[in-house]
């Protein structure tokens, strides 16, 4: 089964947009291995939009741009596979991709077959330029079946930005992940608006098909295609922790050939990745009646009878947040508490019951992993 846990990898769009090439992809695959990202769980190296010529060839096939990919896609796939990684590509459900390149509308089955021949393991499938008479969900059903009939196991990454109430039907198309929002850009506001918009929709995200709240901007520092101001290293850690708690796929968007130590530490944080990849794949439950403001407290069941309690402060000033254990199903009458460990500092904080008050810095968070214990 694909996507037992949220897929992890790298995607070219956030930093490089149309400036992609065989060389970039090969160097990125090298960097995945050399930096330890592969060993931390990152697996897919994905080319986004702008990889082909502007028109299909005479035989009707999409043609890889020979200036960008002189040896063709099979060569690149073999190289990436040789590094113990998987290869991802991109197409779109409409008549043209978002950047105006040929796209798979009415070519779904032949394109899927071609991707399989290339050795593709992952297809991101966008939603621009859909003919008005075509039904959005139907176009994802088409590509879902086309991939299944392609002769190769290919992870289906849908990208319709949350339209047509995507969470209600996308799992039935065979997709393993689905973009639920518009595009992220590299600043705290964009990142947090995207996360907040999905916090009450996480129950749809589970084993086999995950809510994808977009590629990470961690470590971009205002460089590249989606630069809009950048964030501090602490804010990037907040962003990463949030994506992990919300169980989003983790697709890196920065230039991993040129990362700071802080960026690498964030992207490979073992305890955060462990939460993202938790085998139970249960949704994060928002406390506070589902109202998502600057204070956000979430609770989540983890494998091995463990639990996650997390506090996120989207505001700029420090705030004291209070989790009432009644709201997580642990009233005083239960006689139970949670023995908690801070997953960022590693420190044991003892047994908490009834409630927990925590000062949380502006744009900061606290995350605790724990077990149920008798008081």
Catalog residues that contact ligand GAL under the rule CB under 6 A: 13, 48-49, 97-99, 126, 128, 159, 161, 183
Check if 295 is active-site. Answer: no
Tokens of 79: 């190289």
**Considering beta carbons, is residue 130 or 300 the nearer one to ligand GAL?**
130
Tokens 């950047």 -> residue: 99
Write the CA distances from 305 to 208, 274, 301, 343, 372, integer angstroms.
Answer: 22, 14, 7, 17, 8
Tokens at 289, concatenated: 């009646």
- Least Cβ distance, residue 242 to ligand GAL (angstroms): 19
User: Which of 195/343 has CB closer to ligand GAL?
Assistant: 195
Residue 279: which of 5, 41, 3, 43 has the closest Cα? 5
Our CB check for ligand GAL shows the closer of 256 and 284 to be 256
DSSP code for 186: B
Asked if 8 and 251 touch (Cβ cutoff 8 Å), the reply is yes
Catalytic residue chosen out of the listed positions 126, 212, 214, 295: 126
End-to-end Cα, the chain, rounded Å: 41
Residue nearest ligand GAL (C-beta atom): 98
Shortest distance (Å) from residue 87 CB to ligand GAL: 17
126 is catalytic: yes
212 forms beta bridges with 179
Q: Residue 48 CB, nearest distance to ligand GAL (Å)?
A: 5
Structure tokens at 25: 């992809």
Catalytic residue among 183, 234, 294, 354: 183
Closer of 49 and 111 to ligand GAL (Cβ)? 49
Closer Cβ to ligand GAL, 38 or 179, answer by number: 179
**How far is the C-alpha of 140 from the C-alpha of 172, rounded, in Å?**
9
Q: Name the residue among 340, 336, 332 with its Cα closest to residue 370.
A: 340
How far is 277 from 250, CA to CA, in rounded Å? 10
Catalytic residue numbers read 126, 183
């Amino acid at each position: 089964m694909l996507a037992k846990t949220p897929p992890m990898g790298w995607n070219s769009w956030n930093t490089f947009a149309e400036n992609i090439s065989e060389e970039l992809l090969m160097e990125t695959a090298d960097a995945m291995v050399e930096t330890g990202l592969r060993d931390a769980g990152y697996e897919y190296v994905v080319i986004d939009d702008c990889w082909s010529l502007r028109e299909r060839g005479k035989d009707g096939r999409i043609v890889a741009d020979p200036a960008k990919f002189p040896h063709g896609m099979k060569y690149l796939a073999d190289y990436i596979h040789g590094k113990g990684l998987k290869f991802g590509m991109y197409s779109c459900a409409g008549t043209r991709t978002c950047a105006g390149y040929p796209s798979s509308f009415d070519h779904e089955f032949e394109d899927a077959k071609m991707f399989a021949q290339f050795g593709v393991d992952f297809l991101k499938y966008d939603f621009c330029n859909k003919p008005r008479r075509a039904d959005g969900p139907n176009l994802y059903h088409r590509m879902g079946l086309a991939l299944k009939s392609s002769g190769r196991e290919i992870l289906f990454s849908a990208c319709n930005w949350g339209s047509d109430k995507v969470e209600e039907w996308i799992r039935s198309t065979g997709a393993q992940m689905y973009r639920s929002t518009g595009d992220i850009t590299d600043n705290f506001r964009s990142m947090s608006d995207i996360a907040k918009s999905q916090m009450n929709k996480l129950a749809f995200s589970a084993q086999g098909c995950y809510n994808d709240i977009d590629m990470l901007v961690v470590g971009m520092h205002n460089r590249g295609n989606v630069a809009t101001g950048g964030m501090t290293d602490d804010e990037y850690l907040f962003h990463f922790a949030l994506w992990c708690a919300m169980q989003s796929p983790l697709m890196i968007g920065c230039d991993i050939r040129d990362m700071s130590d802080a960026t690498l530490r964030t992207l490979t944080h073992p305890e955060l990745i462990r939460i993202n990849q938790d085998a139970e794949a249960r949704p994060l439950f928002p406390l506070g009646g589902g109202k998502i403001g600057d204070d956000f407290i979430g609770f989540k069941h983890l494998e091995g009878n463990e639990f996650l309690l997390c506090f996120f402060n989207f505001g700029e000033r420090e705030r004291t947040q209070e989790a009432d254990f009644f709201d997580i199903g642990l009233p005083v009458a239960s006689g139970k508490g949670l023995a908690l460990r801070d997953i960022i500092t590693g420190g044991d904080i003892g047994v908490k019951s009834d409630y927990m008050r925590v000062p949380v810095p502006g744009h900061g968070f606290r995350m605790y992993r724990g077990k149920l214990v008798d008081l």
